[in-house]
Structure 1
Amino acid sequence: KVPPHKRLPEGPFGDHYGYYSLKHDYPVFEVEAIFHRKDAIYPATVVGKPRQEDFFIGDYLQELLSPLFPLVMPAVVDLWSYGETGFHSLAAAVVRERYAREAISAGFRILGEGQLALTKFLLLTDKEQDLRNFKRLFEYILERVDWESDFFIFDRTSFDTLDYASGQINLGSKAMLIGVGEQKRDLKRDFSTSHLPQGVKRAKVFCGGCLVVEADSYEADKQLPARLASATEFDEFEVVVIHDKLEYADSSDKFLWATWTRFNPSTDVYARGVRLKHNRICYESPIIIDARMKPWYPKEVEAREDTIKLVDKRWKEYFPS
């Protein structure tokens, strides 16, 4: 039974975002009896930092349901949510651009569809892409985005309960980035300088147009993103992501997880220029994303050493070759 209005504290638990969920009040299930057969199999999944079992289940469900997306959302050709980010933190779509700015309406349609309404960051383009190839997709969009008219941030919107980037529960912000039409620019693909701005330790190109920098902690230098937005060293890059560790630029898996689970668009995105034109906000690149760990973020999920040793010891027993 589930008594109405009855709530009790639950948590913290290691969850599929790769962090420990905080303690919250949740509905109470009152169990009167449990029935089981002999040698019962208990269905469960192991969750934690992607990729775990739930990652592959989520991807498989997307593959099964993807043919239905164009039926319920006619302007959407293809859609993919990235399990590396916990699914809700980042999604990308190929949409129809049959008339000017149709991509915007398609984006709003996606953000209004069921669980997709919890999407934090949405990437949109109008040419067929392999959406699983994030680096290539991101480059394609960065080659075409007009920062004055194709980047939108919406504050005070719904937020996934397990996403703590905003510092609030179930409340945060969303962003939509559009790259459609013909290529507007060639992307910078290398970075070498003997001088880095104050607070930056190292830098590495993640993909064309996107630079990752390792910097001082958020608590040590909260003003760093604003300074980097005006730093001339990064003029040739479209996006600069600030991280605590440079290793997050080593692979798409690491970059996706550590970036999109650690920033809230309305409070952690900065730009070289921000101005108001015809009651809309226009941005000027480079765009700075502060994806450093913040004091209110929960801890990363880490396996206990004794558990690791036990699994390693009995692995062949569990899964004989």
Structure 2
Amino acid sequence: MAFKHLRHFIDTLEKAGELVRIKEYVNPHLEIAEITDRISKSPDGGKALLFENTGYDFPVLINSMGSYRRMCMALGVQELDDVASEIEGLFKMLSKPKESILDKLAMLPKLSQFASWMPKVISGRGACQEVVMTSPDLGKLPVMTCWPQDGGPFITLPVIHTKDPHTQSRNVGMYRMQVFEKDMTGMHWHKHKVSAKHFSEYKKLNKRMPVAVILGGDPVYTYSATAPLPENVDEYMLAGFLRKKKVELVRCISQPELEVPADADFVIEGYVEADEELIWEGPFGDHTGYYSLADWYPRFHVTAITHRKDAVYPSTIVGIPPQEDAWIGKATERIFLAPIKMTLVPEIVDMEMPVEGVFHNLVIAQIQKDYPGQAQKVMNAMWGAGQMMFNKILAVTDTGTRINDYKALAQYAFKHLNPATDIYFSQGPMDVLDHSCSRMGFGGKMCIDGTARLPEETDDRFDTASFSPEVNIAALRAAFPEIKAVNATLLKLDIPCIVIAVEKDRRNHLRELHPQVYAQPGMEGIKMVLYVEHTVDPMDLPSALWRFCNNLDPKRDNFLAERPSSRNAHKVTACMGLDGTIKTKELDDFQRDWPNIIVADDATIKIIDEKWQKLGLGDFLPSPSLKYKQQIYGQGAVVAL
């Protein structure tokens, strides 16, 4: 379904009971984010929110794609898997041998359909240019400051257009933009991104780089800007495919080399100078749930701002999951399963990205296993595929269990797992937002082979048969005072893994502690111990796993312990320890700053508490930040090194 404009999508959400209009005044500085954080963490992502009274001329739409249903509505489908099925059908049709003239003629209707999805540049101005600011001023837009330690207000849903200076091929991406002046922002594109490559080419030519940013329009534009497409595929072709209607583009007013969707709500035109001094941008409360650290990025100079007469300012917040971006990620997980299967990993059956893994940290792949070493083949293929190169922890399973039943999946994987031989470590490119890497953008990776073992994959030295561990938590804490809490509840589910909260006080503390812990009575049969910071509640498993995944560099932070098997004197059992605690210079020789968890400040929480009954949002929801505040008091914004 093609939405005519953003208000068309808003009307559709409202008719479906998926939107709440908030008429009470709410400040875009911290307050909208605090309300949205409470709503987005309610069951099924809560409702989309339209803030109509912000002190600006434009209402703010947020959390519009923050549920499975709304994500499907944005893409015009009943189920996200419907898109994957259509893509798979197209791949099969295009790759099928054409043996006769009838086979070739049968392709013509589909080729005509392809043409109908291609973007088209139209003459004249579009609705996005109904109003032209005589003096462009970003201060007239309700740009939000989301979190108290953010470097300033950020545009969080910008759809950014650039072109290769040599080929003129277009790239449409999404990179946050910190507003510094009325006509200048940062341009936060990472070195791995296509727009950064375009900028590199402009620098070689010593030419000014034109850039155009849109906000709003059909929500498919926003999604397509986040999609992990190959560099030579136009994002607006994907948008046309999803909406089943070509995207109509108009030329920018001050940057005519670039074209933007005619139905966008806002267009911010400008340029980046090839040789200009960079600007210190950030920090920013990011999708990892931590503040991303400040760094140097290009300056974007605004030359024009245009908008619709009835423009709506779309925004989002990112922070401790779940947030709206989890559902955008779910769409990518489902939609791009078919291309991965058809072009890279033919044995893949399904894929899952748990919310606690914040996209890149944890990915589960289910394969049809036919030969030994196949999980490692899949590991190498996936780590070499586009944005999957940023993946930190990859768990591979086979068709012996359902991938989205996490309990059954863990039982199955741990049943077959030999911690000494079936966990593989590597290193490579990482998301620059990953703070656990010893070097920015480069760190460790781990693949857990949870498939059923074939004879060639077994090591007779190890006893991997199921035990019934009986961990004595009181005895563990008495023997090791640094252990503050233990979650052993997974053992009752036949999952031989425990979570230990520990307070480190010396170098190599956990590397020395782990074999001692594994040597304790009742620990035989435990295959994995996840260590978290002593301020983390290990009984809150989703929260503990989120903290663990963020703070782990698998290659650096693993230690294997062995002990003689009590059932076979000629064999040993093994247990993998993984250190998901905070890393410091004093205890871990960690040379980078360690960011803090994102939480709202007390003043903002109090304002929203007092305002809640006027918002029309139903029963009172306490701030999600409250549960994390005790974990960070006294640490400051960043642990000083």
Q: Flag whether TM exceeds 0.5 (same fold).
A: yes
| Partner in structure 1 of residue 51 of structure 2 | none
| Partner in structure 1 of residue 638 of structure 2 | none
The question of 1:200 aligning with 2:483 is answered yes
Range with greater deviation from structure 2 (143-152 or 103-112): 143-152
Structure 2 SS opposite 1:107: helix
Provide Cα deviations, 1:137-160, integer angstroms capped at 9, x if missing partner: 2332111113343211113x1111
Please point out which of 308, 319, 324 is paired with 1:37. Answer: 308
Q: CA RMSD in A?
A: 2.6
Please point out which of 286, 291, 298 is paired with 1:20. Answer: 291
| Partner in structure 1 of residue 411 of structure 2 | 139
Contact 2:419–2:527 under 8 Å retained in 1: no
- Note the residue ranges of structure 1 that are not aligned, 5 or more in a row: 274-282
Provide Cα deviations, 1:237-295, integer angstroms capped at 9, x if missing partner: 1111111248543344213201111110121111115xxxxxxxxx9621111111123
Please point out which of 589, 598, 607 is paired with 1:310. Answer: 607
Provide Cα deviations, 1:114-166, integer angstroms capped at 9, x if missing partner: 111100010001125443443432332111113343211113x1111111112
1:78–1:221 CA distance, 2 compared to 1 (3 A): same
| Partner in structure 1 of residue 471 of structure 2 | 191
Please point out which of 204, 208, 229 is paired with 2:515. Answer: 229
1:62-211, aligned counterparts within 5 Å?
Answer: 62-72=333-343, 73-127=345-399, 129-155=401-427, 157-181=428-452, 185-186=465-466, 188=468, 190-196=470-476, 197-198=479-480, 199-207=482-490, 208-211=495-498
1:12–1:148 CA distance, 2 compared to 1 (3 A): same
Please point out which of 252, 264, 270 is paired with 2:559. Answer: 270
1:170–1:64 CA distance, 2 compared to 1 (3 A): same
Q: Give distance in 2, aligned partners of 1:82 and 1:88.
A: 10
Identical positions, percent? 26
Structure 2 SS opposite 1:43: strand
Kindly state the Cα deviation for residue 170 of structure 1 after the two structures are TM-superposed.
0.3
1:289–1:10 CA distance, 2 compared to 1 (3 A): same
Range with greater deviation from structure 2 (33-42 or 93-102): 33-42
- Greater C-alpha radius of gyration: 2
Equivalent residue letter for 1:65: F
Q: Give distance in 2, aligned partners of 1:220 and 1:313.
A: 45
Tell which has more relative contact order, 1 or 2 (C-alpha 8 A, sep 6+).
Answer: 1
1:124–1:159 CA distance, 2 compared to 1 (3 A): same
Contact 2:423–2:448 under 8 Å retained in 1: yes
The question of 1:261 aligning with 2:544 is answered no
Contact 2:425–2:554 under 8 Å retained in 1: yes
Kindly state the Cα deviation for residue 313 of structure 1 after the two structures are TM-superposed.
3.4
Structure 2 SS opposite 1:49: coil
Q: Give distance in 2, aligned partners of 1:188 and 1:221.
A: 33
Kindly state the Cα deviation for residue 93 of structure 1 after the two structures are TM-superposed.
0.5
Structure 2 SS opposite 1:267: coil
Q: Give distance in 1, aligned partners of 2:539 and 2:431.
A: 27
TM-score, L = length of structure 2: 0.45
1:109–1:204 CA distance, 2 compared to 1 (3 A): same
Q: Give distance in 1, aligned partners of 2:485 and 2:372.
A: 41
Range with greater deviation from structure 2 (139-148 or 41-50): 139-148
Contact 1:242–1:290 under 8 Å retained in 2: yes
Q: Give distance in 2, aligned partners of 1:126 and 1:20.
A: 36
Q: Give distance in 1, aligned partners of 2:287 and 2:573.
A: 35
- Note the residue ranges of structure 2 that are not aligned, 5 or more in a row: 1-270, 455-463, 563-571, 585-592, 619-641
Please point out which of 596, 599, 618 is paired with 1:299. Answer: 596
